Structures are given as structure tokens and as C-alpha cells.
């Protein structure tokens, strides 16, 4: 009796397990592929509950949401042979789950295929552009031909790349360092040019200043000599007028001037007492005035 009851329980559990294995659910973010012996029987794209034959069939799920591919910056060569680093990302999704499941093992394999296709297409496109045109080009103008080539290459994998965005166009560290050195050399050369021009201008200013100084001194000396000559002429005229009025007084005055200049401190004169130089010492002041 007990064995019969256990038998019924075991059969019930087996039927229940068989029934649970006969159904599967599809989420709204997934595509479900019903597989039998490695072949795709059907693809369920709508969310819901579906039935399968247990042990014979199994379900493989494929994400149908928008997915991103964002690699590290990649180096490319422009048409003018200048290496550039492009930082970019792409948005893609699975459009044919059957092809996707048949050709690719997993999402990592899909990302690798997308990366290869993008690098190839970007290399071809960047290779036709100069550095200046690459920097100035719009996102749409650069992405459109690349997306066309990539999707043509990936269509047999059930993948479609919807968008490509270039985040940054830069230079490789080696080229960047060389650019900095070239800029530094150019700045040093320009600074040396400015210094040379400044020195030349300073020398010219000094030369002009010296020339102007010489001219001013010469003009001042000329004016000085003219004024001195006028003064000497006026003094001579005054002396002449004074001599004409009273020759003896003029001779006396001139002698006093000679005494004042000649008989200064520490002056030693060796003269004959009868010398005309001392004639006013030999006569009284009153006689000198007669």
C-alpha cells in the first residue's frame, strides 16, 4: 500500500517536472530562439509564455536592447601621414537573432566583430582626410560613410550599428611631445628675433641720441663762443671808451687788475725794482691820478 502511494507521488512529481520544463517565458527585452539539435525552429520576439518539448528542445535568449561599444582611443593615419587618436563609441543592436546565434558565440564575440569593422572603416575614412579637415568635419559627415561600410560588413551577422560618435580627436603621446618641442623651438626663435630687433632699435636710439647730443653740444658751444665773442667785443668797446675818456686812470685800473691777478697768495715774483710793473708803487696815489 505504501509503495503504491510513493509510486503515485513520484509519477505526479515527474509529470509536474515535465510540464514545468515544457514552458518558457520571453521577457520584453529579449528574443527567444527555440533550438532543436542545433537548429533554430522559431524565434519568439513578443513577450509571453511559450511551450516546447522538454529534453528535445532548448531556448537561447538574445538581448534585443540597444547596446554600446566603447573601446580605448585608437590611432589612425591621416592622408597627410599624421597619426591621430580617435576616441569614439557606437550604439548597436541585434536585428536578426537567428543569424546572430548561428554566427556568434556570445556578446563578447559580437563586440570583437563590431570593433574590427569600425576600425577598418574608420581607417579607410580617416586615410582620405587631412588633419585639418578631420578636425573641422562634422559628426554626420564622418559617421555616415563609416556606418554604411560597417553595416554592410556586419549584415551577415544579424547586427546593425545605429550610431557612431567621435568624442575626441587627439595626437599620440609621441607626436604630442614632438609638437610641444616644435612649438617651444618656434617660441624661442621668435623671442630671439624680438630680442635682436629690440637690441637693434636700442642701438639706433642710442646712436640718434649721441648724434643729437653732439649736435646740441656743438650748437651750445657755438652759441657760447658767439656770446663770449660778443662779450669780449663789448668789454673791449667799454675798455676803449674808458681809455678814451681818461687814459691815465685806465692805465691805473688795468695795473690794479694785473696786481690782483699776479699778487695772489703764494706768488713769488723776481723783478727789477725799476720795472714798469711797480711804477704805481713808486708814486703816490695823488701823483698817479694827475
* Domain regions of the chain by residue span: 2-62, 67-171, 246-290
Between residues 152 and 270, the one the model is more confident about: 152
Residue 125's pLDDT is: 92
pLDDT above 50 for 209: yes
Q: Which of 239, 271, 241, 269 is nearest to 253 (CA)?
A: 239
Query: Using CA atoms, how far apart are residues 64 and 161, in angstroms rounded to an integer?
Result: 13
pLDDT at 15: 52
Q: What are phi and psi of 269, to 5 degrees?
A: -120, 135
Instruction: Give the pLDDT of residue 284.
Output: 45
Asked whether 64 and 125 are in contact (CB, 8 A), the reply is: no
pLDDT digits (tens, 9 = 90+) for 242-282: 666 667 666 666 776 776 666 666 666 666 666 666 666 65
The confidence band for 290, taking pLDDT boundaries of 50, 70 and 90, is: very low
Q: Regarding predicted confidence, which is higher, 29 or 90?
A: 90
pLDDT tens string 16-30: 565 555 677 888 878
- 247 vs 188, residue with greater confidence: 188
Q: Find out if CATH 3.30.479.30 is the number for domain 67-171.
A: yes
C-alpha–C-alpha distance, residues 58 and 24, integer Å: 9
Mean pLDDT of the 59-75 span: 87
pLDDT score of 152: 93
d(CA 73, CA 119): 11
Mean of pLDDT over the chain: 79
| The pLDDT value given to residue 90 | 94
- Between 20 and 159, name the one with better pLDDT: 159
User: Cell 723776481 sits at which residue?
Assistant: 270
Rounded to an integer, the average pLDDT of 144-163 is 92
In this prediction, residue 161 carries a pLDDT of: 94
Q: Which helix (H) or strand (E) holds 124?
A: helix 107-126
Q: What angle do CA 191, 176, 187 make, to 5 degrees?
A: 5
- Give kind and range of the element (H or E) at residue 94: strand 83-94
Amino acid at each position: 500500500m505504501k509503495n503504491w502511494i510513493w509510486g503515485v507521488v513520484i509519477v505526479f512529481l515527474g509529470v509536474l517536472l515535465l510540464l514545468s520544463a515544457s514552458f518558457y517565458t520571453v521577457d520584453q527585452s529579449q528574443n527567444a530562439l527555440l533550438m532543436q539539435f542545433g537548429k533554430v525552429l522559431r524565434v519568439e520576439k513578443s513577450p509571453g509564455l511559450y511551450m516546447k518539448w522538454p529534453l528535445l528542445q532548448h531556448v537561447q535568449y538574445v538581448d534585443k536592447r540597444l547596446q554600446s561599444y566603447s573601446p580605448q582611443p585608437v590611432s589612425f593615419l591621416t592622408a597627410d601621414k599624421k597619426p591621430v587618436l580617435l576616441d569614439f563609441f557606437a550604439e548597436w543592436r541585434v536585428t536578426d537573432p537567428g543569424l546572430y546565434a548561428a554566427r556568434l558565440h556570445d556578446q563578447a564575440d559580437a563586440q570583437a566583430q563590431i570593433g574590427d569593422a569600425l576600425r577598418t572603416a574608420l581607417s579607410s575614412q580617416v586615410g582620405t582626410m587631412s588633419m585639418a579637415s578631420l578636425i573641422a568635419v562634422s559628426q554626420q559627415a564622418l559617421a555616415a560613410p563609416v556606418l554604411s561600410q560597417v553595416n554592410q560588413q556586419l549584415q551577415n551577422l544579424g547586427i546593425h550599428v545605429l550610431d557612431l560618435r567621435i568624442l575626441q580627436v587627439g595626437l599620440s603621446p609621441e607626436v604630442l611631445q614632438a609638437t610641444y618641442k616644435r612649438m617651444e623651438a618656434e617660441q624661442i626663435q621668435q623671442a630671439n628675433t624680438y630680442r635682436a630687433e629690440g637690441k637693434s632699435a636700442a642701438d639706433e636710439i642710442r646712436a640718434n641720441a649721441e648724434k643729437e647730443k653732439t649736435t646740441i653740444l656743438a650748437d651750445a658751444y657755438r652759441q657760447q663762443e658767439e656770446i663770449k665773442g660778443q662779450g669780449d667785443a663789448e668789454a673791449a668797446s667799454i675798455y676803449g671808451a674808458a681809455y678814451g675818456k681818461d687814459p691815465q686812470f685806465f692805465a691805473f685800473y688795468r695795473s690794479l687788475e694785473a696786481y690782483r691777478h699776479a699778487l695772489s697768495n703764494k706768488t713769488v715774483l723776481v723783478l727789477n725794482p725799476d720795472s714798469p710793473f711797480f711804477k704805481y708803487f713808486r708814486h703816490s696815489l695823488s701823483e698817479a691820478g694827475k
